[in-house]
Amino acid sequence: MTEQVAYLNGEILPLSQAKISVFDRGFRVGDGVFDTARSFRHKPYKLREHLERLYRSMRYVRINAGIDIDELEKITRQVVAHNAKLIDERSDLWMTQVVSRGVYNRKVGITASSATVAVVTEPINFSTFAKFHRIGMPLITPSIRHTPPECLDPRLKTTSRMNLHMAELEAQGHDPSASALLVDLNGNITEYTSGNFFIAAGGELYTPHEKTSLAGIARATVIDLAREQGIVVHVADITPYDVYNATEAFITSTSKCILPVGKLNGIRIGSSIPGPIAKRLLTAWSERVGVDIVEQALWHLPEEDRRRLDAAAVAA
């Protein structure tokens, strides 16, 4: 089959036939959870960790997928094996499991519906962020604050991300290429709209607490790689003041792995992109997975853009 496939409620189907009800609570009220892993060289990476986080999310919100983790892993691998044949060898896939509480059942209340379970893949959109490996990502702290842990545990990966979207829209209102770096009610940095955050100071790394941000799997990988490299990592309160005075900053996420941050609120961070620690970690991570992470992202840009970025990096 030359069309991508998806899994939906017990069946693997052509993607165009994977449809859900307009009464699905995921669609109607954001009553669902999800997780997204990626591939390297078309093979799922840390899929089990992502699925374990998905099952923890489900347990927290009391959704029963009606399928066990081994089976969902097997299905994800099947969907990836098919869809990976449809992308070129230098691309990779996101693989997402989405589980909603299912179709409304007004007669019996919210816990009674049977869950909607889907597995889909998409090619990672490297071209949208590749340039930031050379020029650094601009971040802005919006006025919208991160949802406090007293309201929703930030370890939950929920489909209702309005808080994050509002923050992103505000940041992009200031600078269309910027993303939001959310602070909590006390002014401490939490996470960016789709990734975790690190700064370096005095040759050591600092990242916000899990209490206020998603326990990112890329974040855990960075902590692990850093410790392997003898780099001390602190989990700490970080404010914009700390970021302005840092020697470097970067974000981490499944698709981007590590992406340098160039500016926060228009203030330049550090003196090189990437900073020396991000560079070491990107090299170590690339060796681990057998893919040059930066080159892979840049390869997805038109040749002319790559040349312009290389020239800008030399001039900087």
Residues that bind ligand PLP (CB under 6 A): 36, 164, 191, 194-196, 213-214, 216-219, 252-254
Whichever of 35 and 309 has its CB closer to ligand PLP, that residue is 35
- Nearest-5° angle of CA 301, CA 284, CA 133? 25
Q: How many residues does the chain have?
A: 316
Residue nearest to ligand PLP (CB): 216
Quote the least distance from Cβ 110 to ligand PLP, whole Å. Answer: 24
At its nearest, how many Å lie between ligand PLP and the CB of residue 216? 3
Question: φ and ψ at 283, to 5 degrees?
Answer: -65, -45
What are the residues facing 180 on neighbouring strands? 140
Report the run of H or E that residue 296 belongs to, with start and end: helix 293-299
Dihedrals φ, ψ of 63, to 5°? -110, 135
CA–CA distance, 233 with 201 (Å, rounded to integer)? 10
Q: For residues 5 and 225, which CB has a smaller minimum distance to ligand PLP in the complex?
A: 225
Nearest distance from residue 308's CB to ligand PLP, in Å? Answer: 29
Q: How far is the CB of 100 from ligand PLP (least distance, A)?
A: 17
Q: Between 53 and 309, whose beta carbon lies closer to ligand PLP?
A: 53
Provide the minimum distance between the beta carbon of 257 and ligand PLP in the complex, in angstroms, as a whole number: 9
Q: Which residue, 49 or 292, has its beta carbon nearer to ligand PLP? A: 49
Considering the complex, state which of residue 100 and residue 254 has its C-beta at the smaller distance from ligand PLP.
254
CB of 235 to ligand PLP, least distance (A): 15
Smaller CB separation from ligand PLP, 83 or 254: 254
- Please tell me the number of Cα atoms within 13 Å of 109 on its side-chain side: 1
Place of tokens 């489909």: 159
Q: d(Cα 236, Cα 206) in Å, to the nearest integer?
A: 6
Three-state DSSP class for 83? helix
* Dihedral over alpha carbons 10, 103, 113, 35 (to 10 degrees): 60
Cβ proximity to ligand PLP, 56 vs 82, nearer residue = 56
Q: Is 137 exposed, middle or buried (0-12, 13-18, 19+ CB in 10 A)?
A: buried
Quote the least distance from Cβ 146 to ligand PLP, whole Å.
Answer: 9
